[in-house]
Amino acid sequence: MADETYIDNEKRFFILKTYAFSFIIFGLLFSNYETFFDDIFRIITEPDFLIVDYIKLSGIGAAFLNCGIVTMAAIMILKKAKVEITGVSIASLWTLSGFSLFGKNIFNVWFVIIGVFIYSKIRKESFRKYVYIAFFGTSLSPIITQIIFSDALPSFLNLILAFITSTFLGFLLPPLSSYFLSFHRGYNLYNVGFTAGIIATFLVSILRAYGYSFEPRILWSSGNNVLLGIYLYVLFLVMIYMGYRYNKNSFSGVKKISTYSGRLVTDFVLLEGMEKTLINMGSVGLAATSYVLLTGAALNGPTIGGIFTIVGFGAFGKHLRNIIPIFLGVFLGSITNMYDIHDPNMVLAALFGTTLAPIAGEFGIFWGIIAGFLHSSLVTNLGYLHGGMNLYNNGFSGGLVAAFLLPIIQAFERRGKDEH
């Protein structure tokens, strides 16, 4: 008789589909049906470089419906590719879900994915090998929106240019992301975000050289903390409960997850099992949601995007022990610098800055706080380089912070060993 507590691949797909379906249902419940199609159309056609909150742009209903549809479609791609659901699968899906609340939509994500697919076919390799790079690579989706809905060229030429650009990006992302992993040595979990930042910086620099300008834009909603807070707490408590039930009504073994540094590649599903991973994912989700609320920040598209990304990487490197020092570091930065703690820049720096969690996981709380502190300053200055066209701005910053900090940490660690 099969062990009913074991979460096999089919059950893993079912759990992911259930969450995608919950996004869709939540979206439908709070949609304005009189403006429904206009709201969705606005999400597709409006420029969506950093920071464009889809809740502010089109309302809670349309934002979550977009999120649910994108997530469900991505799950179907993984199913078609016959992927085994592991930690990286979950991280890529939840990151895609989160950013589908601010920057990625049911139209613009497919161009980059198709570009990577074409790359895999020309290489005569299975798309399964590159599917996660494709999902994470949708951080460059705002570039596609800018091209297609530009009035500089006729519409059909914009589409052709978008296809050429996405194919070009598809060819760049796999080799560059593999190469840049050595730059930060796996201490920046958003490796594709760092790669996308480099690519976007080059593209935007070229465009600027030819007279194209990128005006900063911030759409940021507030006033929905009670509704969205209840939804998120229920979402993550159910996740913990599912893990508890599948773990034979026990939290046994969950603590072991916190013993890992989280450095790439640390796949909790493969290392400790899906049931314990679900408990960890729900726990970091509760912590991230609580951080936003305790600092007086708004729960909206971007902040929930950050929370969902943390939850996804709760299967692939993040746990309470290595994310809390990053929160503390950014918190320290926000009370000493020119920004308020609930300012969009600072709250997003705290949430997405957990890309540096492996530094805290391996070198301890002190260096984790230093990493978060440095990140809180650096990340606010990098958006100009890529014009907001890389949605994973914190991944870009995280790669630079890790590369800067690692030699310093190792110098102090080595000195400490020599003294002993």
Question: Which string of DSSP letters, residue by residue, matches 155-170?
Answer: HHHHHHHHHHHHHHHH
Query: Per-residue pLDDT averaged across 386-391, rounded?
Result: 92
DSSP state at residue 105: -
Token pair 């194209």 is found at: 212
C-beta of residue 392 within 8 angstroms of C-beta of residue 143: no
pLDDT in tens, 355-382: 999 999 999 999 999 999 999 999 999 9
The whole-angstrom separation of Cα 236 and Cα 217 is 31
For residue 284, which amino acid is it?
Answer: V
pLDDT score, position 206: 87
DSSP state at residue 85: P
The percentage of residues in the chain with a pLDDT greater than 70, rounded to a whole number, is: 97
Query: 168, 187, 162, 190: which is closest to 177 by C-alpha?
Result: 190
Query: 101, 104, 107: which is closest to 55 by C-alpha?
Result: 101
pLDDT at 416 over 70: no
Query: Per-residue pLDDT averaged across 95-119, rounded?
Result: 96
pLDDT in tens, 184-203: 999 999 999 999 999 999 98
- What's the 3-state SS for 15-37? HHHHHHHHHHHHHHHCCCCCCHH
Query: 173, 4, 16, 167: which is closest to 83 by C-alpha?
Result: 16
pLDDT score, position 213: 76
pLDDT score, position 417: 52
Is residue 285 packed enough to be buried (19+ CB in 10 Å), middle (13-18) or exposed (0-12)?
Answer: buried
Predicted TM-score (pTM) of the model is 0.96
The whole-angstrom separation of Cα 256 and Cα 268 is 10
The percentage of residues in the chain with a pLDDT greater than 90, rounded to a whole number, is: 87
pLDDT at 183 over 50: yes
